[in-house]
Chains A and B, each alone.
Chain A
Amino acid sequence: MIGKVLNSIIGRDSFVLAFGFVALLILAAYTIAKLIKQQKMGSAFAIILALVAAFVAGKITGGTKGMADFPVFAGFLILGGSALRDYTIVSTAYGVKMENLKKAGLAGTIALFVGVFFSFIVGTLIARILGFTDPKEITTIGAGAVTFIVGPVTGDALGVSSEVIALSVAAGVVKSVLTMIITPLIAKKIKLDNPTTAMVYGGMIGTTSGVAGGLAATDIKLVPYGAMTATFYTGLGTLLCPSIGYLIVNLIF
C-alpha cells in the first residue's frame, strides 16, 4: 500500500518534489562550502554536485536527461527547463541600469560576432586535425562548438549523418558543462566582476545554459548582463554557420 501511495505521489507531483530535492542539494553544497571555508563557492558547488549527479544518473539509466531519467526526479525537467530558466533570468534584469547596458552595448555586440566565429573556427580546425575531410561534416562540428543547438541545426541543413550531428551536440554540451565549472574559477583572472565584462563574456561564450550556470556560480548580480548578450548568440550562430561558415570551410578545406 505504501509503495502504491509513494508511486502515485511521484508520478503526479514530481515538480513539487523537485523543489525539495534542489533544496537538499543546495544545502549539501553550502555545507561543504562552509566546511572548507569557501562560502562564496556555495552556488558553484551546487552546480558541480548537480552535474556529477547527472553524470552518475546517466551512467545508471543510459538516458540523456541526467537525473530526470529517474521517475522520482522527473520534476527537474520542469524546474530546470528552459521556460522557468528564461522566466527567472528575465526577472534578474530588474534593477539593471540602462546606462550600463549602453556603455557595454558596442563591446557586447562585437563580442557576439567574434565569439561565434572564434568557436566555429576552433571547432572546424580541430575536426580537420582529427581526420574529418568532408566540408559538411567539418562545418557541423564547428557549429557544435558554437552551441549544442547550432550544431544540429547546421547538420540538418547540410544533410550530414546522425553520428556527426551527435558529435556536434556533444561538443556543445562539453562547452556548456565546462563553462559552468570553470567560470567561477577564472572569474578573477579575466576580471569578470563588472557589467561590461559580463556582457562581453556572454557574447563570447554564448551557450545560454553554460553562461547562466557560470555567472550564477560567480556572482548573481552579473547574470542579467551576461544573459542579455548570450541570448542572441545561438540565433546568430544558426544564421552564420550553415551559410557563410559553410562557404568559408568549403573554400579552405
Chain B
Amino acid sequence: MQIYGLGIVAACYFAGNFIGRILGQLIGIGGNVGGVGLAMLALVIVGAKMQKKGGFSEKTEKGILFLSSIYIPVVVAMAAKQNVVAAIDGGAVAFLAGGVATIGAMALVPLLSKIGSKSESLEKVKGE
C-alpha cells in the first residue's frame, strides 16, 4: 500500500533527526546536526537492502515517489513565506555579506568538485 512508502520515509526521518539531535547534544551546540542527511542515508540503505530482496512493491514505491513529487510545490510554498523584505532592506552590510559569500562560494564549486574524481577528469583530458 502507498501509505507504507510514506511510513518508511517517516521512519527514516525520525531515525535521522533523532541521531542528529543526539549528535547536537553530544558536541554541545544543541539543535540538529545533519539529521536530514542521516535520514536520507537511512533511506538509501533501506532502499539498497530491499533491492536485494526484489525491491519494494509498486504501491509502496508510489508512496515514496508521491512525496518526491510534492517536493517542488513544498519548496515554492517555502519561497512564498520567506522574509524577502528583510533581505532587501538589510542594507549594504547584509546584502554584500550574504551576496559575496554566495557568489564566491558558487565560483569555488568547480574547483572543489575535482577532488576525488581525478581519474575521471584525466580521462576527459585524454579524450580531448
Name A residues whose Cβ lies closer than 8 Å to a Cβ of B: 18-19, 22-23, 25-26, 43, 46-47, 50-55, 58-59, 64-68, 73, 76-77, 79-81, 84-98, 101, 103-107, 110-111, 114-115, 118-119, 122-123, 126-127, 130, 132, 141-142, 144-146, 149, 153, 166-167, 169-180, 182-183, 186, 190-192, 196-197, 200-201, 203-205, 208-210, 212-213, 216, 220, 223-224, 227-229, 231-232, 234-236, 238-239
Query: In the docked arrangement, what's the CA distance between A144 and B84, Å?
Result: 15
Interchain CB contact under 8 A, B112 and A110: yes
Taken residue by residue from 76 to 115, chain B's Cβ proximity to chain A (1 for < 8 Å, 0 otherwise) reads as 1111111111111111111111111111111111101111
Is the Cβ of A51 less than 8 Å from the Cβ of B96? no
Given that A90-B13, A92-B71 are contacting pairs, would A76 and B98 also be in contact in the complex, using a CB cutoff of 8 Å? no
CA of A204 to CA of B87, assembled, Å? 20
B24, A130: Cβ atoms closer than 8 Å: no
Q: 5 other contacts beyond A171-B98, A179-B102, A232-B37, with CB at 8 A cut-off?
A: A65-B81, A67-B80, A123-B98, A216-B71, A235-B32
Q: Which of B24-47 contact A (CB under 8 A)?
A: 24, 27, 29, 31-37, 39-41, 43-45, 47
Q: Is the interface of B mostly helix, strand, loop or mixed?
A: helix
Given known A115-B105, A130-B96, contact A220–B73 (CB-CB < 8 A): no
Report the nearest B residue to A100, measured CB to CB.
B44
For chain B, residues 1 to 42, give those with C-beta under 8 angstroms from any C-beta of chain A.
9-10, 12-13, 16-17, 20, 23-24, 27, 29, 31-37, 39-41
B54 at the interface (CB under 8 A from A): no
B80 near A64 with CB under 8 A, answer: no
B81 adjacent to A54 (CB under 8 Å)? yes
**Which residues of chain A have C-beta atoms less than 8 A from B86's C-beta?**
58, 64, 166, 169-170, 173
